[in-house]
Amino acid sequence: MKVENNVTRTFSNLAQKNEKALIGYIVGGYPTLDLSRKIIEQLILSGVDIIEIGVPFSDPMADGPMIQDAFVKTLNSGISPKDCLTLVKSIREKDKQTPMLLMTYSNILYSNGLEKFLIQSKNCDIDGFIVPDLNFEEADDYLDITNKLGLSTVFLTSPNTSIQRLRRIIALSTGFVYMVSVFGITGSRNKFEKYTFDSISRSKAIVSSYSKHLAVGFGISTPKDGQRMIESGADGIIVGSSLVNIITKNKNDQSKMLSELDIFVKELKTICKVSN
Amino acid sequence: MKRNTDLGKFGAYGGRYVPETLIPALEDLDIWYQRLKVDKSFQRELGRLLTNFAGRSTPLYYANNLTKSLGGPKIYLKREDLLHSGAHKINNTLGQALIAKKMGKTRIIAETGAGQHGVATSIASAVFDLKSEIYMGAKDVERQQLNVFRMNLLNSKVHSVQSGSKTLKDAINEALRDWIANVQDTHYLIGSVMGPHPFPTMVRDFQSVIGKEIKEQIRKLTGKLPDAVIACVGGGSNAIGSFFPFINDKKVKLIGVEAGGEGIRTGFHAATLSKGRMGIFHGMKSYILQDENGQISEAHSISAGLDYPGIGPEHANLMDTARATYPHVTDKEAVKAFMQLSKLEGIIPALESAHAVAYIIKNAKNFKKDETVVITVSGRGDKDLQIVRDYLSQSDGSLKKNMQARGVIHS
């Protein structure tokens, strides 16, 4: 099923300019709600094409220490899932365009009442969801409601996912397909192995046959990493822990934080502009 | 359009909620398990180990003194405490380690709270010559130094988990993260009837040996089925193992006793079925202790083995369908039962198992004199001596006075 939405339009528009998508992940409400709003605005200004907002969960099994720590601190400061929705709403006063996706775990969605939470999200102009512990087998309700509301779905695939499963994942992903680059959790890596690039090439061919887009994430910490993903066929790269790292490192110096984010994002954006 | 399959569902509960990376490993495990479950040579090999190494079958013992002191019902104790390693956990670890070996895995990881499952996993890994690494919350490592040493002796590496609340639930998170990274050569040996499919089913099947033996033994002893089977419930493996062979025997009451901690109104408890609500945690849909936003709560119990904010999905379904009931007893009642069973029967139960004993002490009057109940003594209490001693020296009132009078502790 071919779907058009804010997320797919972003990929298509970039493709016309011969660009790949730069997708930036930050933790909603970290280090504070106000600052996370400024951070998102900075990221967009510096060149991030799609924003992912992590909604803190107490037990994030797919996340490494960098994001775990940010979650713990954010939860301790009393940030709730609803705060992440109003965060997007407040950014929407200035920016109607940039796709914003929430990334969180199943329990946050279900515990708050799945339909209620998804409707609230829609009302805050959130474009869609990434749920790393929700597989398509368990996603009937979620798919029915997101489809009804016109929220984009992004399912994850991994280097060991079978072709048969990958096809289902692609078919059910209305935003893009999120390929996890490695066997592992989020967080920077010193190097990637050959299997990562092979998996990207293999997956890209199938994703393209559905006229959909493939973005690769987990562990990308340098422009060079990103470049290799793009050369292997990725339509977009997702950078999370590295951004969170800059935020954590500079949490007491806002202007330094924003300028370091600016520099890093511009470097990443450069490699997303592919010349033929 | 219904896209769903019924993989590992118990009513509305169970399923498989994990990162995509783990799906091939879970599918593979399920296929192997389905195959080996009906493989005679596998069952023979496991049966031999359970008999010759672990010490099955375990006795069903008529607790004459306890029965007399309560004035009925007739109480039988299923003596899982007599197994090698001191608890029922080994029924599962031997089974899963043998599967892992057959699958060609070379490395075992496991979570542990107080250390019992870590020890049972270390033992099974030693038997099958598998590399073994155990994740344990930093707080538990601190509290359970001796069990850490025990695991080291058995050739396991113990990782002290510093994340989150630094207890069992965080040890499980960390083990899952390890599994995601090392899924090719590693088997995650989950210690209870929890987690993603096929674990709740597979672990139940390995623990059902308890209930099968109970059924045979009680028939031999009394000529009929028991009126009730009672077991403690944390994740719920010894309880489901005791219950499962009786599920279709509708006249047999199934009673799972949860840890009420300091009382279920205090917030310091592990009574997941009484106070939790439906959620998705550690790969399964079940009852979960959580706050209004869906953040997982910490559980509290004097018994480390019951100190878990989730519960096996099959128990959630047994409660919803009213096939089993899930009362709770407090720390204080459990300690009292711990002492009473020691004094009356010469059996020092694990604090976990003491919860099941406490239930019958509290509720004996609700049974007829000639009814029979079976209580699963899931483990022995050696590991809990220090904890009980500390508890008694801190607590006030009759418990302490009673102990002082008997010279167990000094005033």
pLDDT, mean of residues B326-353:
97
In this prediction, residue B402 carries a pLDDT of 60
Span A38-59, pLDDT tens digits: 999 999 999 999 999 999 999 9
Phi-psi region of A78 (alpha: psi -120 to 50; beta: other; left: phi over 0): left
In this prediction, residue A80 carries a pLDDT of 97
> What whole-number distance in Å separates Cα of residue B395 and Cα of residue B155?
38
In this prediction, residue B83 carries a pLDDT of 98
Task: Say whether pLDDT at B375 is over 70.
Answer: yes
Give A-chain residues touching B285 at CB under 8 angstroms. Answer: 110, 138
Q: Which of residues 256-285 of B touch A (CB under 8 A)?
A: 277-283, 285
> What whole-number distance in Å separates Cα of residue B148 and Cα of residue B339?
26
Give the residue from A118, A133, A165, A199 with the most B CB atoms within 10 Å of its CB, the best one to mutate.
A133
pLDDT band of B1, cuts 50, 70, 90: very low
pLDDT band of B275, cuts 50, 70, 90: very high
Let me know: does B195 contact B284? Beta carbons within 8 Å. yes
Q: Compute the 3-state secondary structure of chain A and give helix, strand, coil in percent, each to the nearest 5.
A: 50, 15, 35
Task: Say whether pLDDT at B332 is over 60.
Answer: yes
Span B34-49, pLDDT tens digits: 999 999 999 999 999 9
Tell me if B19 and A81 make a contact (CB, 8 A cut-off). no
> A64 and chain B: CB distance < 8 Å anywhere?
yes
In this prediction, residue B405 carries a pLDDT of 64
Task: Say whether pLDDT at B242 is over 70.
Answer: yes
Secondary structure (3-state) at A83: helix
> What whole-number distance in Å separates Cα of residue A227 and Cα of residue A213?
17
In this prediction, residue A276 carries a pLDDT of 46
Q: How many CB pairs under 8 A join A and B?
A: 121
pLDDT, mean of residues B150-170:
94
Give the residue from A86, A107, A136, A158 with the most B CB atoms within 10 Å of its CB, the best one to mutate.
A107
Task: Say whether pLDDT at B406 is over 80.
Answer: no
Give B-chain residues touching A133 at CB under 8 angstroms. Answer: 17-19, 280, 283
Let me know: does B357 contact B341? Beta carbons within 8 Å. yes
Give the Cα-Cα-Cα angle A268, A176, A169 (nearest 5 degrees).
135
pLDDT band of B167, cuts 50, 70, 90: confident
Predicted structure pTM score: 0.95
pLDDT, mean of residues B185-205:
98
In this prediction, residue A15 carries a pLDDT of 96
In this prediction, residue B401 carries a pLDDT of 63
* Element housing A260 (H / E): helix A254-272
Hey, what amino acid is at B50?
L
In this prediction, residue A3 carries a pLDDT of 78
Give B-chain residues touching A183 at CB under 8 angstroms. Answer: 21, 180-184
In angstroms, what CA-CA distances link A69 with A57, A84, A131?
11, 17, 19
Residue A104's closest chain B neighbor by CA?
B294
Hey, what amino acid is at B337?
A
In this prediction, residue B399 carries a pLDDT of 61
Give A-chain residues touching B2 at CB under 8 angstroms. Answer: 140
In this prediction, residue B72 carries a pLDDT of 87
Q: Which residues of chain A have pLDDT under 50?
A: 276
pLDDT band of B3, cuts 50, 70, 90: very low
Give B-chain residues touching A65 at CB under 8 angstroms. Answer: 163
In this prediction, residue B396 carries a pLDDT of 62
Nearest to A158 among B21, B177, B290 (CB): B21
Taking chain B, what is the end-to-end CA distance rounded to the nearest angstrom?
70
In this prediction, residue B4 carries a pLDDT of 40
Task: Name the minimum distance, in Å, from the CA of B89 to any CA of chain A.
Answer: 25
Q: ipTM strictly over 0.90? A: yes
